Structure 1
Amino acid sequence: MSSEVPDPTDVEARAVENVRIEDEMEQSYIDYAMSVIAGRALPDVRDGLKPVHRRILYAMYEMGVTSGSSHRKSSSIVGETMGDYHPHGDSAIYDTLVRMAQDFSMRYPLVDGQGNFGSMDGDPAAAPRYTEARMSPISEELLSDIDKDTVDFSANYDDRLQEPDVLPAAFPNLLVNGSSGIAVGMSTNIPPHNLGEVIDATIELIDNPEATVEDLMEHVKGPDFPTGANIVGRDAIYSAYKTGRGRLRVRAEFEVEEWKNDRERIVITELPYQANKARMVERIAEDVNEGEIEGISDLRDESDRDGVRIVVECKRGANVEVVKNKLLENHLEKTFGVINLALVDGQPQVLSLRETLEEYVAHRREVVRRRSEYDLAEAEDRAHILEGRLRALENVDDVVELIQNSEDRSAAKDGLQSTFDFSSDQADHIVRMQLGSLTSMEAAEIEDEYEDVTAEIERLTEILESEQELLSVIKDELRAVRDEYADDRRTSIVEDQGTVTHEDLIPEEEVFVVMTEDDYVKRMPIDGFDPQGRGGKGIIGADVKEDDRVTTVFRANTHDYLLCFTNRGKVYQLKTYEIPEMGRTARGKSAVNILDLEADEDITAIVDTDAFGDDEYVTMATRNGYVKRTAGEEFDNIRSTGIIAADLEEGDELVDVEVTDGSQDLVVATEGGMTIRFDEDEVRAMGRNARGVNGIKLEGDDAVAGLVATDEADERALLTVTRNGYGKRTQLSEYRTQSRYGKGLIDIKTGRRNGPVTAVKAVSPTDQAVVMSERGQIMRTRIDEISTVGRNTMGVIVMEVQSGDAVASVDVIPESSITTDEDEANVDETVESEDDSQ
């Protein structure tokens, strides 16, 4: 026997295949890439889950760790998932479990966690041995009916068990919770959405298969992030929904607050999705220390379990708008790149909003069809058994006797089949019946059950035979999920000033804006109110509710910027088009939905301006006779919460506002019919927080009614209108200039017949006046129909005011804003001539 050991390398190969190393590497890399794409990194369009998410949920379902059970140690769930379905590292499984439990990561968390599952500050979750978890109620909707052959199953990694290829998914989870992942050569980044909006869009697509992305966006306004915040601009949203790709600007929610010692602070209450709060605060502090951001005196994170609150305190005198813009530029805005990439039939595909919902509807159609087939088979089997039981009860004596006389159960079954023509299943069931089931009550219950099962068979057959009925079932189930789990939208969508916005789509037109004492507001086209003769009753301009009254009516263009001054001395800014347009008989919309007014705050004056010139001033008059002048530039940056325009003493109110140029005369009129005219220079310019100086001496309980700015060359007249509808015109030249803080001259005789003065306006004969009563009557009349008389007269009837009503407000339409029928005809001729020339 030889002692030589054979060389193991000295073996003749059975087959040798020569391949190029480039080809082998290419194919191996493709195989690896497809494994990562399909088996790890990308979600399935049908249930919106990656394999690891699906395996965790299915493992919890198999373990019985549902929303109704007690919490289970996370380590136990991770171990079961890894051992049975997901043969990868436990840290990867636990990280996925943690994310599904984070309410700041998932719009609708799929896992109900107990313990430390991390935070927005980037803090990691506690170790899995310390945390506990169970399925959340909404995650059970993803697995609903999985035991009814609704989806395909495949063998797990070691062929011991079966796992689902996809979950039934009773709601479009891909859009609802979104997904992100990096595969080989591609990535996905799908934002979360509001459940109710997505379901409404899905139902819309089912009802209208030709629905466009625009139609679906009537329901899905845009992504809805769990952390709230704001999406800037709608164009990017439309692009993402139309093409499957887009870049969204997500901006933090914040507001500027007045603070102590005339200082202001910026309070941040919502952050962009996936922002690290602690890191963001740290970076702001670094920029402040390095001088990148100036004007910040303190920075605090006051967040708690109730929500985010980051306070940025500004230094005294700091320009808060500059601070705000710096924060927006570097910290408070993030870009969310939408890549709506998902697996469709195992292949990665970028999908539009419509295509995503189409794939989901197709999936649900298959799930409901397979479930109905399963339930139908079950129902038919049950009906077959019940038919046998009913026939056995009809022949109960013979059946019992046959069974008693049989040698064994097998012989009894054979006898039942041969004698009564029972099937094998029916005979097997009958021989196993208990004697108690032969009672008359039991027989009635069997008959009732048989009727129910028969009705169920008919319903399921109808679903399987009718596409419309099947789709109706899908819609009903979607509505049930929406009713159970839908909530309000968290993320707002704000306009992008640098792109085409809603404003650009609104035509420029002259409108009336009406406000009431209870802060209802609306706008109406001027064209709806034709001029009437003096002394008319007018027509309905607003349907005010009981105990409310109209306080203001004014004319504006839909694209104008309006400075709204209130009786409390504050000023707010808005665009006219932001006020809802309504009909004459509408009450209007509550102003608190447009302006952040306080409970006892009413708008008393409106200034229509886009911007102030270098030499312009905002001149204000108060009820107690004070007059104040402030440079217009101090009103250039007005916060949504308003700013202080005048510091009023207790019991005083802001009455009227004019824009002046520093060289005019001011005419102050009182409710008792007195007026005083003095040089604007007698009122020195002062800051917003000042009270002003005395403008007129008031007798008794008299009060200021209005303010007019004029000059020596002004040929206009002073229109005075009283509470009972009387009015007159007097040339402004008849009001001589006096020193400030005198009693003034008599402008109009007031008494029981005409009542106190409501408003004064400077008018030309070609202008028109708009008079509105407290009960909502409105009248438009030509100024030249109102008599021009001397100062010390009572006036004529301008508007016939009904008993219990009174004039609330007066506004003037300048000649330049009046469009006549002749003007419109000229415009039409011009357009036609241009068309002919082309």
Structure 2
Amino acid sequence: MSADDAPEAAREIRNVRIEDEMEQSYIDYAMSVIVGRALPSARDGLKPVQRRILYAMHDMGVSSNAGHRKSSNIVGETMGNYHPHGDQSIYDALARMAQDFSLRYPLVDGQGNFGSVDGDPPAAMRYTEARMAPMAEEMLADIGEDTVDFVANYDDRLTEPEVLPAKVPNLLLNGASGIAVGMSTNIPPHNLREVVDATIHLIDNPECEVSDLIVGPDGEGFVKGPDFPTGANIVGRQGIYDAYTSGRGKLRVRAEMDTEERDRGGDRIVVTELPYQENKARRIERIAEDVNEGKIEGISDIRDESDRDGVRVVIDLKRGANTEVVRNKLLESHLERTFSVLSLALVDGQPRVLNLKELLSEYVEHRREVVRRRSQYRLDEAEDRAHILEGRLKALENAEAVVDLIRNSEDRDAARAGLREEFDMSEAQSEHIVRMQLGSLTSMETAEIESEYADVQATIERLEEILGDDDELMGVIKDELRAMREEYGDDRRTSIIEDTGSVTREDLIPEEDMVVVLTEDDYIKRMPIAEFDPQHRGGKGIIGVRPKEGDRVSTVFQANSHDYLMVFTSAGQVYRLKVYEIPEMSRTARGTNVVNVIDLDADEEVTAVVDVDDVEDEEGYLAMATRGGYVKRTELAAFENVHSGGIIATKLEDGDRLVDVEVTDGTQDLVVGTRKGMTIRFDETEARSMGRSARGVNGIKLDEGDEVAGLVATSEGDGLDLLTVTRNGYGKRTPLSEYRQQSRYGKGLIDIKTNERNGEAISLSAVTADDGLVLMSESGQIMRTTVDEVSRQGRNTMGVRMMSLDEGDWVAGVDVVPGGADDTDDDTDDTDDDGE
């Protein structure tokens, strides 16, 4: 074939750089995806596929009060007439518009399986049925009144709306998500009442700022934040403020959880609301995986008890598990997620990131145009009807002449011409009169026409008023918005909670005074101190722990649940611990093995606990005493970085062990007491400051078979007493001023008689009369009393009974609660002083 015979299009050959062609083709493709598929319009908030589905249903008459139609039928109509991009993408969009967990106000009323929050896909389209939801009809309302422009469909056979009239700001109500080429959008859903109120405020105050539309800390404003169909909680307001002012922001969305008590003991955590777009089944599966892998401890079972009434995921905790710690771990790992807001939408065919005011302004401008065009359409119709009615009224006034003229005319054309000439009628009027039935000339019909004419005239006046006055037109928009608020408005589902920073265990645990108990076999637990009522001295107390057979209580101390503790062991190690990390258990529980809380070696025992909050900010020293009589001081700064595996606190001789630790300020005296009742007091500077790995210096000369029982730090003028408690439950307090200062490494003075009645001294404390006491026996009895219950005595005395013990039981530990004296229980029997 010659060049002359080639088609005209083939005769033109152009040389094009391939990179230029690729660039232009890619831009064309990108814009096609951006405008034609992925991004919603800022006016009606719909993507093209969603708009076409709703318009196809409108065409088919599948309204909210009609019967459901097979989804495959709707998809076929949409694909064949408007959206030639594959049936699966259309059905996916249809199914999402029917999901009440995806859309805040669903636009499709589905019948059948349209998926679930567990990630289950919808049933095949041949099995499901659908029709428009009432809200969708509001989106299409007045579409036949020239309210929006129509464009040709893909094959020019039909026309489709460029945008829907949209009686509500759907882009904010239902949100949108989509990924285009090089850009994406992610707009969260909102509450209709709040958005309508904000829109009305913007109409009344066009110059308002974005901040005027947002509910602030003072409660002023309209939009509190996104309102997800699945509820849950938004943590903090900063992300909301960023999203509304700039169009971009990050929201922390947290599940709603409650704690319940189990019938068999222990707690359960019940999740009733999940973050938006969270796959419930997958989340439960991942929690279970973390439990199996040991990443989350304390969970015994997970069950999904959800039904049609809502979500209910039950997480049973093991007995003794710290509920707050498990709850916090779940929040950190699974039940809190970030929702990234990007308010990108099409404005005049161009993608733009919009703030809250701009989003509402685009909608208001759209509704202004819709109401203006609708009013003009209705005015034109009303004027046409008024014109016809005016012709009928003329005909009624001249009924006999009109009848004669029509009867004497050769044909309809002649009759119409005669009416126009004789009665000055228009073509439309004459046509209507010629076609009018003779029965319309009755007097009753005349009254009806006159009434209708008056109504039409009133309608014309109102429509002209709306079109001639912008305030009236905007008033119509506001009235329609208020009607939508009354019809479809509901309460918020998503709560806004204050942001207290990153979720930590401490944030979720209330401050509470606790009693911590340790046993010789390394079991540990904590209990609220409020469970133990104060008693007079000599009382027996109540059960505080039930050690296993052969085990005995070794240590007891009181601390706040948020206190930071330095835990010292017999091996000279120190560990860091928060009180709330110790499992809270009932009084009769044995406790959990201490290795679950502190990484102790097999032969280590806790012998001293120092409550030092924020050690890094403290100045001073830690004074330590060993069983063999060694004393040393180390600066607190040396203990700034105590890790979970512990660090060395002091070096020990073979067979020696650390027995007590005190915090000093560098100017105090140290009092060392022994089990046989001896004490020595010396200036703390006599034990020079040393490093952590040093052994220390001799503090007291011990008689054969004697050991150090405790250490006290005191100052002249403190007005303190030395409280000494013995193994058999006796004790006394003596003014510290009676213990004269000596040089270290002396034998000291007699403090208390340690005869057969008293037994060995086990505890020394510096106290005031206002302090409280917690005593615990080796068998697990705990008694609270007050220092002023113990009378003052001199040195070298017997003391009084402090705690009544069963045969074979002994005092295991004593802890002083500074300023913790409470009124004692008057019903508790006082006990004889036994030789006071």
Of 30, 33, 37, 1:36 maps to 33
Does the Cα contact within 8 Å between 2:512 and 2:561 map onto a contact in 1? no
Report the alpha carbon displacement of residue 23 of structure 1 after superposing the two structures with TM: 0.6
State the partner residue of 2:111.
114
TM-score (norm 2): 0.63
State the partner residue of 2:684.
none
Matched, 1:221 2:218: no
Report the alpha carbon displacement of residue 741 of structure 1 after superposing the two structures with TM: 2.2
Report the alpha carbon displacement of residue 739 of structure 1 after superposing the two structures with TM: 8.7
Of 149, 158, 161, 1:161 maps to 158
Alignment of 1:93-108 (within 5 A): 93-108=90-105
Of 795, 812, 828, 1:741 maps to 828
State the partner residue of 1:56.
53
Report the alpha carbon displacement of residue 638 of structure 1 after superposing the two structures with TM: 13
Report the alpha carbon displacement of residue 474 of structure 1 after superposing the two structures with TM: 0.3
State the partner residue of 2:802.
none
Q: For 1:714-747, what per-residue CA distance to the aligned partner results, in whole angstroms no more than 9, with x for missing partners?
A: xxxxxxxxxxxxxxxxxxxxx9999972599xxx
Alignment of 1:499-518 (within 5 A): none
State the partner residue of 2:348.
345
Q: For 1:250-282, what per-residue CA distance to the aligned partner results, in whole angstroms no more than 9, with x for missing partners?
A: 111111212133301111111111111111111
Matched, 1:333 2:336: yes
Residues 433, 710 of structure 1: CA spacing in aligned structure 2 closer, same or farther, 3 A cutoff? farther
Cα distance in 2 for partners of 1:737, 1:408 equals 118
Of 125, 128, 134, 1:128 maps to 125
Report the alpha carbon displacement of residue 712 of structure 1 after superposing the two structures with TM: 9.1
State the partner residue of 1:809.
none
Residues 342, 684 of structure 1: CA spacing in aligned structure 2 closer, same or farther, 3 A cutoff? same
Q: Please state whether the residue corresponding to 1:146 is helix, strand or coil.
A: coil
Does the Cα contact within 8 Å between 1:678 and 1:737 map onto a contact in 2? no
Report the alpha carbon displacement of residue 709 of structure 1 after superposing the two structures with TM: 9.6
Cα distance in 1 for partners of 2:463, 2:401 equals 36
Matched, 1:185 2:157: no
Report the alpha carbon displacement of residue 290 of structure 1 after superposing the two structures with TM: 1.0
Cα distance in 2 for partners of 1:403, 1:299 equals 89
Report the alpha carbon displacement of residue 362 of structure 1 after superposing the two structures with TM: 0.5
Residues 284, 479 of structure 1: CA spacing in aligned structure 2 closer, same or farther, 3 A cutoff? same
Q: Which moved more, 1:34-43 or 1:677-686?
A: 677-686
Cα distance in 1 for partners of 2:226, 2:777 equals 49
Matched, 1:467 2:441: no
State the partner residue of 1:402.
405
Residues 263, 126 of structure 1: CA spacing in aligned structure 2 closer, same or farther, 3 A cutoff? same
Alignment of 1:70-469 (within 5 A): 70-217=67-214, 218-469=221-472
Residues 205, 686 of structure 1: CA spacing in aligned structure 2 closer, same or farther, 3 A cutoff? farther
5+ long unaligned stretches in structure 1? 501-560, 565-613, 648-660, 665-676, 696-706, 714-734, 745-838
Does the Cα contact within 8 Å between 1:234 and 1:493 map onto a contact in 2? yes
Report the alpha carbon displacement of residue 330 of structure 1 after superposing the two structures with TM: 1.3
Matched, 1:491 2:488: no
Cα distance in 1 for partners of 2:823, 2:222 equals 64
How many residues are matched?
Answer: 572
The percent of aligned pairs where both chains have the same amino acid is 66
State the partner residue of 2:560.
633
Amino acid at match of 1:483: E
Cα distance in 1 for partners of 2:80, 2:791 equals 95
Report the alpha carbon displacement of residue 710 of structure 1 after superposing the two structures with TM: 10
5+ long unaligned stretches in structure 2? 215-220, 504-509, 514-525, 545-556, 564-577, 589-720, 725-768, 793-821, 832-836
Report the alpha carbon displacement of residue 431 of structure 1 after superposing the two structures with TM: 1.0
Q: For 1:156-177, what per-residue CA distance to the aligned partner results, in whole angstroms no more than 9, with x for missing partners?
A: 0111111000000000000000
Alignment of 1:665-744 (within 5 A): 680-681=772-773, 741=828
Residues 615, 419 of structure 1: CA spacing in aligned structure 2 closer, same or farther, 3 A cutoff? closer
Residues 343, 626 of structure 1: CA spacing in aligned structure 2 closer, same or farther, 3 A cutoff? farther
Does the Cα contact within 8 Å between 1:230 and 1:250 map onto a contact in 2? yes
Cα distance in 1 for partners of 2:343, 2:210 equals 14
* Bigger Rg, structure 1 or 2: 2
Amino acid at match of 1:60: M
Q: For 1:752-811, what per-residue CA distance to the aligned partner results, in whole angstroms no more than 9, with x for missing partners?
A: xxxxxxxxxxxxxxxxxxxxxxxxxxxxxxxxxxxxxxxxxxxxxxxxxxxxxxxxxxxx
Does the Cα contact within 8 Å between 1:65 and 1:71 map onto a contact in 2? yes
Q: For 1:105-154, what per-residue CA distance to the aligned partner results, in whole angstroms no more than 9, with x for missing partners?
A: 11111000000111111111111111000000011111110000000000
Does the Cα contact within 8 Å between 2:527 and 2:587 map onto a contact in 1? no
State the partner residue of 1:731.
none
Does the Cα contact within 8 Å between 1:617 and 1:662 map onto a contact in 2? no
Cα distance in 2 for partners of 1:738, 1:370 equals 84
Cα distance in 1 for partners of 2:528, 2:401 equals 111
Amino acid at match of 2:452: E
Report the alpha carbon displacement of residue 210 of structure 1 after superposing the two structures with TM: 1.8
Cα distance in 2 for partners of 1:252, 1:460 equals 51
Residues 324, 10 of structure 1: CA spacing in aligned structure 2 closer, same or farther, 3 A cutoff? same
Residues 310, 682 of structure 1: CA spacing in aligned structure 2 closer, same or farther, 3 A cutoff? closer
Residues 472, 743 of structure 1: CA spacing in aligned structure 2 closer, same or farther, 3 A cutoff? farther
Cα distance in 2 for partners of 1:709, 1:484 equals 70
Q: Please state whether the residue corresponding to 2:480 is helix, strand or coil.
A: helix
Cα distance in 2 for partners of 1:375, 1:35 equals 36
Q: Please state whether the residue corresponding to 1:260 is helix, strand or coil.
A: coil
Does the Cα contact within 8 Å between 1:144 and 1:168 map onto a contact in 2? yes
Residues 181, 663 of structure 1: CA spacing in aligned structure 2 closer, same or farther, 3 A cutoff? farther
State the partner residue of 1:595.
none
Cα distance in 2 for partners of 1:710, 1:463 equals 88
State the partner residue of 1:653.
none
Q: CA RMSD in A?
A: 4.0
Residues 151, 740 of structure 1: CA spacing in aligned structure 2 closer, same or farther, 3 A cutoff? same
Report the alpha carbon displacement of residue 15 of structure 1 after superposing the two structures with TM: 2.3
Report the alpha carbon displacement of residue 321 of structure 1 after superposing the two structures with TM: 1.6
Q: For 1:68-96, what per-residue CA distance to the aligned partner results, in whole angstroms no more than 9, with x for missing partners?
A: 10000000000000111011100110111
Cα distance in 1 for partners of 2:11, 2:450 equals 72
Q: Please state whether the residue corresponding to 2:144 is helix, strand or coil.
A: helix
Report the alpha carbon displacement of residue 633 of structure 1 after superposing the two structures with TM: 3.5
Residues 385, 712 of structure 1: CA spacing in aligned structure 2 closer, same or farther, 3 A cutoff? farther
Cα distance in 2 for partners of 1:685, 1:476 equals 77
Does the Cα contact within 8 Å between 2:532 and 2:783 map onto a contact in 1? no
Cα distance in 1 for partners of 2:371, 2:722 equals 77
Does the Cα contact within 8 Å between 1:254 and 1:268 map onto a contact in 2? yes
Cα distance in 1 for partners of 2:245, 2:541 equals 57
Q: Please state whether the residue corresponding to 2:467 is helix, strand or coil.
A: helix
Does the Cα contact within 8 Å between 1:224 and 1:490 map onto a contact in 2? yes
